[in-house]
Structure 1
Amino acid sequence: MDKRMNALAFALENEEKEREFYLAQARKTRNMAGKNMFKQIADEEKEHYEMLKKLHAKWVEKKKWPATIPLKVQPSSAGSVLQGMSGKKSARITGTEDELKAVRTAIDFEARGVALYSKLAKQCTDAKEVAFFDMLAQVERQHLLSLKDTEEFLVDPATWYQHMERSGLDGA
């Protein structure tokens, strides 16, 4: 249990640091798609942090997995951020090098989050614990995919829009 408790404490700290990073990047980023993506993920990381904080406190108090903490989070809506920007001129600005660096740093954060929560799930024997950490790994994976999509968007918005709109010469 100590290993999992330490990992949970690390995850708590990590969620808080990630949220601070995302909020800082949302303030700096001029591209509206990037700005909105960072804001959305920051909000979702706050929800994860609050849930992990409650879980950690109860686990420390009871010395076992708490039965009273709701172990669900809202599904990530980060993936819909770029789609919501479709057609807006402010979103068609190619990202700056700093914005791309921030997105790539965020991709690294989320990849490490997926790995951490997947590892925690594998270390657990209790079905509730496994399901909880699998759920967190899945949400982090959604963030990861959304950020990779954002990276592609910032590099080449026109091509991203073509892929999104599935334009092309199908059947030609």
Structure 2
Amino acid sequence: MTELPETMEDIVKFALQLEQDGLQMYRNFAQKSKDAFGKKTFEGLAEDEMQHMELLRKVYGKCGIKEVEEIVAKSKDEPVRQRFKTIFQQAGEEAHKRTEANPSDTEAMRVAMEFEKRGYDLYNEAQQKAKGDIERTAFKHLTLMEKHHYELLQETFEYLNDTGNWFMKNEGWMFEGG
């Protein structure tokens, strides 16, 4: 595990770089994805990374707690299951036409899950080190968001790898035999 810098200013700079790396990674994965559902998932995560960077810039700029709370409030914090369904609907018919997982998409999901786990661990530690309400609020929110990202990626990974069983498990879909 990567060790956090000592000062809060350096932690925020480090976190900003982490989010920038995530933004580039998700844009790259979205561009290369052969699956409409995977593409929409990565595009949504890229948008979230931009929101995270905005939040961290506010913390770094030493703004007030109200500004940080406003960013947290407007941030996407819908339940993972709802977000998954929203992405599924956005992917439209292409999501229904899938036949098998593309190895590059599933590998991208694995890499992304590791990235989100690392982010979760780092933000959780930063939250523990935070001395002020602004930092604590921001890192608590980022910890929760990284957890939600991981869960969304895990759900998407399961869907991409075994669509039929995913539908039976999550939607209760059963096929009738003759």
Taking structure 2 as the reference length, the TM-score comes to: 0.80
Instruction: Go from structure 1 to structure 2 and tell me whether the alpha carbon gap of 1:53 and 1:147 turns closer, same or farther (over 3 Å shift).
Output: same
Do structure 1's residue 42 and structure 2's residue 46 form an aligned pair? yes
Separation in structure 2 between the aligned mates of residue 164 and residue 131 of structure 1, nearest angstrom: 33
| Equivalent-residue separation in structure 1 for 2:156 and 2:67 (angstroms) | 33
Aligned to 2:119: 113
Alignment partner of 1:153 is 2:159: yes
The one of 67, 82, 85 aligned to 1:83 = 85
Cα distance 1:132–1:50, how it changes in 2: closer, same or farther (>3 A)? closer
Q: 1:95 aligns with which of 97, 101, 112?
A: 101
- Checking the alignment, whether the CA contact within 8 Å between 1:33 and 1:82 is kept in structure 2 is no
Deviation at 1:91, TM superposition (A): 1.3
Structure 1 counterpart of 2:16, from 12, 15, 29 = 12
- Mark the CA change 1:78 to 1:90 in structure 2 (over 3 Å): closer, same or farther: farther
| Aligned equivalents of 2:13, 2:155: Cα separation in 1 | 30
- Matching of residue 70 in structure 1 with residue 77 in structure 2: no
**Amino acid in structure 2 at the alignment position of 1:19:** L
Deviates more, 1:45-54 or 1:82-91: 82-91
| Unmatched segments (≥5 aa) in structure 1 | 60-64
Kept in 2: contact 1:22–1:41 (CA 8 A) = yes
Aligned equivalents of 1:77, 1:20: Cα separation in 2: 23
Identity of aligned residues (%): 24
Residues 36 and 81 of structure 1 are in contact (CA less than 8 Å); yes or no, is this contact kept in structure 2? no
Indicate if the aligned counterparts of 1:41 and 1:78 stay in contact, CA closer than 8 A. Answer: no
1:53-94 Cα distance to aligned partner (Å, 9 max, x none): 2321x23xxxxx744632333134583353232695421423
Residue 129 of structure 1: how far off its partner (Å)? 2.6
Measured against aligned partners, the alpha-carbon deviations of 1:10-65 in whole angstroms (never above 9, x if no partner) come to 11011011011111111111211111100111001111112212321x23xxxxx7
* Pair 1:67–1:77, CA change in 2 (3 A): closer
Distance 2:14 2:167 in 1: 38
Q: Partners of 2:65 and 2:105 in 1: how far apart?
A: 42
Query: Which amino acid in the other structure matches residue 167 of structure 2?
Result: Y
Could you tell me which of 122, 128, 143 is aligned with 1:122? 128
Aligned residues: 162
Q: 1:137 aligns to what? A: 143
Task: Give the TM-score normalised by the residue count of structure 1.
Answer: 0.83
CA contact (8 A) 1:23 1:42 kept: yes
